[in-house]
């Protein structure tokens, strides 16, 4: 058996140690990962994926910890991926946070993994989706991905989830900032955390207003605004309920359509990433571009020249075979 096949078999047999190893392959763009994924892909799809994003320090990790606790109370197993975390997964947080997180780590029904941004364009988002596929195939009932909502890569990570929670809190991550960052658009559920802090009620009202204006008549789903205090656990039950309601809303056809759309997006990103690597990965194209620009060509001219060359080389009029296994090593 190849190493890919043997690790995939371990995962399918329920060996937990296979989960972090496969995630490392995904994270490092290991050439064995695609073959391993092909073996476990038939088992992907059972988990519900919740993406948790929001400005730094609003309490995302604290909330994820609480969500994990409530999922466990419902006897659901949980896989957690923290992308580019600062706390508490990497120890950047207060000791209290870490101790609470350890309660979860001692429980075999919870798996926690962090993943650092590699600074590459689509790389992080793609690796994060792969990691979720691994946790899903292993059989975790809930897969939760936390990411700081700051850039396109992070946005891509959460938008691959079934339910996206955007977490805000009074003061730090105020509603105006969130609207500017386009966070409201990606939210299936808006969470106002730190409801124990003053200004929370006002933020809830502002957000409800904003949701009302933005989504009026546009979608069948109205984004709920849920207040909670992850620090004390108060109201987190309501967040779980909102996730379940959204899950119910998506049940059946909607879910299939949504997931299919997200997979298409994932393939497009992979193709774009590969194309970009193929063109810019070696110095040849870069040098030509520099020379052309130095000789007075406009950026449009140069781009057109590059496109003509690569499309002649790469793009065939015929799309690839529709046999799902074709082209696999
Ligand atoms: N008052 C109050 N503080 C909270 C609450 N939830 C979290 N905090 C505190 O807010 C701080 C940040 O919490 P984290 O959970 O690390 O926040 P985060 O959004 O994951 O932070 P980053 O991952 O660094 O973006 C910590 O000091 C928490 O103890 C809450 O409900 N109320
Ligand atoms: Mg965090």
Cα separation, 95 vs 98, in Å, equals 5
| C-beta of 197 in contact with ligand 1 (< 6 A) | yes
Q: How far is CA 105 from CA 100, 158, 194, 248, 257, in A?
A: 9, 23, 24, 29, 34
CA 93, 97, 101, 102 torsion-angle sign = positive
Instruction: Indicate whether 152 and 263 sit together in one domain.
Output: no
| C-beta of 147 in contact with ligand 1 (< 6 A) | no
Give the range of the structural domain holding residue 217, as residue numbers without chain letter.
45-258
Would you say 179 and 209 are in contact if contact means Cβ atoms under 8 Å apart?
A: no
CA 115, 121, 125, 131 torsion-angle sign = negative
Instruction: Indicate whether 236 and 289 sit together in one domain.
Output: no
Q: Whose CA is nearest to atom 26 of ligand 1?
A: 59
Helix, coil or strand: residue 111: strand
Across 80-92, b (16+ Cβ under 10 Å) vs e yields bbbbbbebbbeee
Q: Against a cut of 0.85, is the pTM above it?
A: yes
Residue 87 CA to chain centroid, in angstroms? 17
Q: Which residue among 52, 53, 56, 57 has the greatest number of ligand 1 atoms within 8 angstroms of its CB, and so is best to mutate?
A: 57
Q: Whose CA is nearest to atom 15 of ligand 1?
A: 59
Residue 59 CA, ligand 1 centroid: distance in Å? 3
Question: What is the number of domains present in the chain?
Answer: 3
Among the three residues 28, 43, 58, which one is the final residue of a domain in this structure?
43
Cα separation, 76 vs 50, in Å, equals 14
| C-beta of 23 in contact with ligand 1 (< 6 A) | no
Cα atoms found within 13 Å of the Cα of residue 263, Cβ hemisphere only: 10
Q: Nearest ligand to the C-alpha of residue 63?
A: 1
Give domain status of residue 88, yes or no. yes
CA angle 283/288/289 to nearest 5° reads: 100
Q: Which residue among 54, 82, 87, 236 has the greatest number of ligand 1 atoms within 8 angstroms of its CB, and so is best to mutate?
A: 87
Instruction: Indicate whether 150 and 180 sit together in one domain.
Output: yes
| C-beta of 58 in contact with ligand 1 (< 6 A) | yes
Among the three residues 233, 258, 283, which one is the final residue of a domain in this structure?
258
CA 120, 122, 124, 127 torsion-angle sign = negative
What are the start-end ranges of the H helices in the chain?
3-12, 18-27, 33-40, 60-73, 95-105, 123-138, 152-159, 175-180, 183-186, 200-215, 236-250, 253-280, 283-294, 299-314
pLDDT at 117: 62
Instruction: Indicate whether 198 and 296 sit together in one domain.
Output: no
Q: Which two tokens stand for residue 103?
A: 């309660």
Instruction: Indicate whether 82 and 210 sit together in one domain.
Output: yes
Instruction: Indicate whether 104 and 219 sit together in one domain.
Output: yes
Instruction: Indicate whether 77 and 180 sit together in one domain.
Output: yes
pLDDT digit string (tens) for the chain, length 329 residues? 899 999 999 999 999 999 999 999 998 889 999 999 999 999 999 999 999 988 888 899 999 999 999 999 999 999 999 886 544 444 333 333 444 555 566 778 999 988 876 544 457 778 899 999 999 999 999 999 998 766 666 677 777 899 999 999 998 655 566 666 677 888 999 999 999 999 999 999 988 988 887 766 666 899 999 999 999 999 999 999 999 999 999 998 999 999 999 999 889 988 888 888 888 887 889 999 999 999 999 999 999 999 998 887 776 667 777 887 776 66
Residue 241 CA, ligand 2 centroid: distance in Å? 22
Give domain status of residue 327, yes or no. no
List the one residue out of 148, 68, 140 whose CA is nearest residue 106. 68
| C-beta of 90 in contact with ligand 1 (< 6 A) | no
pLDDT at 102: 57
Residue 21 CA, ligand 2 centroid: distance in Å? 23
| C-beta of 93 in contact with ligand 1 (< 6 A) | yes
Would you say 174 and 100 are in contact if contact means Cβ atoms under 8 Å apart?
A: no
Instruction: Indicate whether 134 and 226 sit together in one domain.
Output: yes
Instruction: Indicate whether 114 and 206 sit together in one domain.
Output: yes
Give domain status of residue 71, yes or no. yes
Instruction: Indicate whether 82 and 160 sit together in one domain.
Output: yes
Instruction: Indicate whether 95 and 184 sit together in one domain.
Output: yes
pLDDT at 311: 83
């Amino acid at each position: 058996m190849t190493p890919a096949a043997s690790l995939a078999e371990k995962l399918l047999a329920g060996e937990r140690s296979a989960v972090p190893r496969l995630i490392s392959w995904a994270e490092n763009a290991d050439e064995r990962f695609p073959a391993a994924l092909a073996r476990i892909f038939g088992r992907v799809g059972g988990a519900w994926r919740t993406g948790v994003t929001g400005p730094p320090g609003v309490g995302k990790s604290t909330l994820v910890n609480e969500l994990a606790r409530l999922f466990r109370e419902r006897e659901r197993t949980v896989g957690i991926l923290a992308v580019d975390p600062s706390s508490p997964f990497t120890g950047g947080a207060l000791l209290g946070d870490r101790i609470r997180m350890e309660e979860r780590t001692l429980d075999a029904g919870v798996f926690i993994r962090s993943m650092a941004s590699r600074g590459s364009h689509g790389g992080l988002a793609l690796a994060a989706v792969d990691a979720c596929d691994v946790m899903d195939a292993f059989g975790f009932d809930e897969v939760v991905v936390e990411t700081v909502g700051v850039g396109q890569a992070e946005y891509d990570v959460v938008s691959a989830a079934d339910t996206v929670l955007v977490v805000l809190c009074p003061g730090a991550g105020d509603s105006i900032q969130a609207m500017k960052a386009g966070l409201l658009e990606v939210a299936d559920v808006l969470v106002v955390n730190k409801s124990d802090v003053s200004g929370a009620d006002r933020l809830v009202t502002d957000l409800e207003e904003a949701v009302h204006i933005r989504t009026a008549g546009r979608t069948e789903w109205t984004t709920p605004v849920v207040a909670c205090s992850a620090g004390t656990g108060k109201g987190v039950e309501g967040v779980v309920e909102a996730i379940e309601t959204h899950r119910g809303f998506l049940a059946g056809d909607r879910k299939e359509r949504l997931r299919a759309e997200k997979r298409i997006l994932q393939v497009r990103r992979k193709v774009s990433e590969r194309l970009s690597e193929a063109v810019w990965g070696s110095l040849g194209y870069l040098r030509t571009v520099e020379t052309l620009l130095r000789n007075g060509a406009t950026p449009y001219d140069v781009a057109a020249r590059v496109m003509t060359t690569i499309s002649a080389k790469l793009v065939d009029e015929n799309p690839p075979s529709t046999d799902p296994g074709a082209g696999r090593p």
